[in-house]
Structure 1
């Protein structure tokens, strides 16, 4: 079954995403983190199928998270999930091979279902 990691410093956004993911498929395993450093350190152990990553976080932002993934050649699929509507952020996200899509919060449950039913994530 799919393993999902959520990385967002705002607990309420993680709560909303966990609820939405469980509505799509209650069998999915979801690990949510408000501390991006802790989330990054857990990636090897958790080996998620997909990561939903916020950009604007203190200490380590989403860009630093992605750069560290790139440095360590980590291939987990990442969906940026942010409140940023900046075209510059959208363009920058294309520099990272493992970023699948740039999503603006809140993500519609129908879109989330489409993402999580992607056969490439199995």
Structure 2
């Protein structure tokens, strides 16, 4: 796969351990994707404005803004890629809200599972 067609995936989570787990899960799949990790939403927004990824995966619980606020912000930037939410604490309200929001491509529990990555990556 050339660099021109490599999928760019942005992962937003303020927990570095989740970044490590995500990297390990992707490494197991042995696929060529460009992973970009951010711990804070403001830096992620700057990146998306300059170089939109194909996929954004965001934790719901973040420091300065939650995943729902982040979703509003990226759509304000014109982001039209796939957007997935992750949550370590499963509130039925979040899952219900994600299901009803057309901008959310999926909702997954942390830590992300290999089967979730298959779904996100269309494998």
Structure 1 ranges of 4+ moved more than 3 A: none
CA-to-aligned-CA distance 1:39-75 (integer Å, 9 cap, x gap): 1110133321111100101112111101112333321
TM-score, normalized by length of structure 2? Answer: 0.85
Please say if residues 7 and 33 of structure 1, whose CA atoms lie closer than 8 Å, have aligned partners that are also in contact: yes
TM-score, normalized by length of structure 1? Answer: 0.86
Distance in 1, Cα, partners of 2:10 & 2:113? 18
Partner of 1:98: 103
CA-to-aligned-CA distance 1:79-107 (integer Å, 9 cap, x gap): 10111211111122235322111101112
Alignment of 1:76-95 (within 5 A): 76-95=81-100
Q: CA RMSD in A?
A: 1.7
Residue segments in structure 1 that go unaligned for 5+ positions in a row = none
Alignment coverage as a number of residue pairs: 118
Partner of 1:6: 11
